[in-house]
Structure 1
Amino acid sequence: MTCATLAELAPHRTYETRDGTRLDVRSAFAEDEAALEAFFERVSDDDRRFRFLSAARHVGHDQLVPLTHCDHWRTESFLVFEHETGALVASAMLACDARMETGEIAVSIDGAYRGRGIGWAILDLLGEEARKRGLKKVISIEDRGNHAAIELERERGFVPHGIEGDPHLVLLEKRFD
């Protein structure tokens, strides 16, 4: 008998996207760092830049620690796997402020899985998690060049706002009133 890792024992949920793609979603843990590092190596340079708002070609340990060492309440990192293959296809994060009123979200999707409704499913999941925690709103900070993410978030009820002093970024906000 072998010992199961925490990640193997972690509860997961299954979602189905609008095109019928089945996804398994679970929290990320420390032992997921190598899988996340490999995932971010597969995404495009633009997708890495949009996710981390920097031009780093490699996502290393210092950037991965916040994604793999969460308190699972104030901050949660989700891994999204294709049900059939077990491939890691997306990473999503919800980071709440100290007063538990606002959560910032960030999402990355493997380019090979775009256009299958995964972004919609992840935004719904993050919204559900934010409401569970009693948040009043979630925000996303996007590079203005990330047209696909901005449009997707607008379709899911986010309202865009400019960020004073930074013409390259846009803040998108969804309230739970």
Structure 2
Amino acid sequence: MDAAHVDRIRILEADPDLAAALDEGDRIEASHAALAPVLRVECGRWRPPEHVEPGHMGFLVLGGLLTRTVAVGGPGSIQLLAAGDVLRPWVTLGEDAPMDLNAEWAVLQTATLASLDAAFGRRVARWPTIASAIMDRLVTQTRWLALDLAVAHIRRVDDRLMLVFWQFARRFGRVTPEGVLIPLNLQHQLLATLIGAQRPSVTTRLGALRDQGLIARRPDGTWLMPNGNGMAVLDTLDGELPAPLLAVLVRPIGPDDKALVADAFHRMSDEARRRRFLTPATELTAEDLDYLTEVDHRRHEALVAIDPADGRLVGTARYVQVPGERDTAEVAVEVVDDWQRRGVATALLRALSERARRNDVETFRAYVSSDNAVVLDAIERAGAIRTGREGSELEFNVPVPRDGLGDRLRAALRAAASGQLLLAERVARRLGIWPRD
């Protein structure tokens, strides 16, 4: 379908972020100068121009949703383009391309495109930061493509789907009382192409995610990520060490996570292994992995945090109910060394607390070594209740929060779960891995 010219528009009013680097006076003047023709493209296949005048900067998407699909002897790959993206469809790989790649364009939602032609470029030449902002958009698109590629290589289809929906939520989502609404009518086949999976597998796994309350399809075809949907925004704990990502995927552990758990164990320091597993061993046995991943999700619950960039496990939090005390469970959390102090433990403990409440667990219990002055000081200042002593370990109880983690409870849980816990010893003894030579 060809595009129809509608009118001219003031680009900086339609997309104010392009003028973010201008002062107020320049912004007003540039806004009057930055005029560009607008095209309206209806739903269906789109045939963009193959040639444009020299100096044309591209089409700026002002609204709607488009796709660009490239196939090489298979289902191909697909790129979603929406408001803020910049298109230069006439640019090819050139004569040195190893094969002839033909991209197919389609419009899923009626698109409005601003044609940033040579005349537009001349009018805004006095303000080079506008051109710089447009270049930033192009670079950002390549970053999203790189993330899409990384997601497509993650082993679990469930994780791929949740991560791609998180991307949609970040780019297109609107917060509602029920959760984050993704106002896109995305068909199963399109999702399958996006994540590099087969359509039947995607349909099956979407059903499983729906049953878990992680994703929902609305009657109009749009999608909803309900509150508590599994993506946890990180609150970095060190102002000088920003989190590398805005979120991690937090989900229940499963039997097929054994390889992820083993990989995370290898990335822990010797001291972290000793503290968590009471062993200097460098490998987890098959029995270890069975116990750590095959949990009943009620008396023994475990959650994992997944890095959206590469699908690797970066942290685990678990509780095990205390025998004879149905409302009390011991708690532990571990985070691989290079992800510590980035908010992963807090995100895991927040989600673990929600699971505990649903399973009628009212109290988390932790055992801290009496000579661990740092953790003892932190946990006592945070308000944890000292309830006893077992050998050289001091027993603390922390109430499971009912309305989210306040600052004090968050600090108490983090301190408790980072101490040397009897839970770790009990797990190790049950596995027959303590003490190891």
Q: TM-score, normalised by structure 1?
A: 0.79
Give 1:16 shift: 0.8
State the one-letter code of the partner of 1:67.
Answer: L
| Aligned twin of 2:333 | 107
Q: Does 2:342 align with 1:116? A: yes
Query: Quick one: structure 1 residues 151 and 26, their matched pair in 2 at CA, closer, same or farther if it must change by over 3 Å?
Result: farther
Identify if the C-alpha distance between structure 1 residues 119 and 158 changes in structure 2 by more than 3 Å, giving closer, same or farther. farther
Equivalent runs, 1:43-82 vs 2, <5 Å:
43-82=268-307
Conserved? CA contact 2:304–2:348, under 8 Å: no
- Of 338, 348, 358, 1:132 maps to 358
Q: Does 1:163 align with 2:406?
A: no
Verify: 1:32 aligned to 2:249, yes or no. Answer: no
Correspondent of 1:14 among 196, 214, 231: 231
In the alignment of these two chains, the number of paired residues is 173
Which runs of no fewer than 5 residues in structure 2 stay unpaired?
A: 1-197, 215-229, 237-242, 402-437
CA distance in 2, matches of 1:119, 1:152: 15
Q: Does the 8 Å CA contact 1:158/1:174 hold for their aligned counterparts?
A: yes
Q: Which amino acid aligns with 1:31?
A: D
The aligned counterpart of 2:159 is: none
- Alpha-carbon distance change, 122 to 56 in structure 1, aligned in 2, over 3 angstroms: same
Is there any run of 5+ residues in structure 1 with no aligned partner, and where? none
Query: 1:44-92 CA distances to partner (integer Å, 9 max, x unpaired)?
Result: 1111111123333322222221221111122111111123432310011
Q: Deviations over 1:10-56 (max 9, x none)?
A: 65601112136301111111111111111101101111111123333
1:77 partner letter: A
Distance 1:124 1:114, change over 3 A: same
CA shift at 1:128, angstroms? Answer: 2.2
Identity across matched positions, percent: 25
Which structure: greater strand fraction? 1
Aligned-partner residue type, residue 126 of structure 1: L
1:148 and 1:111 map into 2 onto residues whose CA distance is 18
Shift of 1:124: 2.0
2:302 is aligned with what amino acid?
S
Secondary structure at 1:101 match in 2: strand
Say if 2:399 is the partner of 1:175. Answer: yes
Q: What is the TM-score of this pair, normalised by structure 2?
A: 0.35
RCO comparison, higher one (Cα < 8 Å, 6+) = 1
1:86-137 residue CA offsets vs partner (Å, 9 max, x unmatched): 2310011121235421111111101101111112222222222222222231
Pairing partner for 1:88 from 313, 316, 319 = 313
Secondary structure of the corresponding residue to residue 134 of structure 1: coil
What RMSD, in angstroms, separates the aligned Cα atoms of the two structures? 3.0
Mapped to 2, the partners of 1:88 and 1:49 lie a distance apart of 19
State whether residues 67 and 93 of structure 1, in contact with CA within 8 Å, keep that contact through their aligned partners in structure 2: no
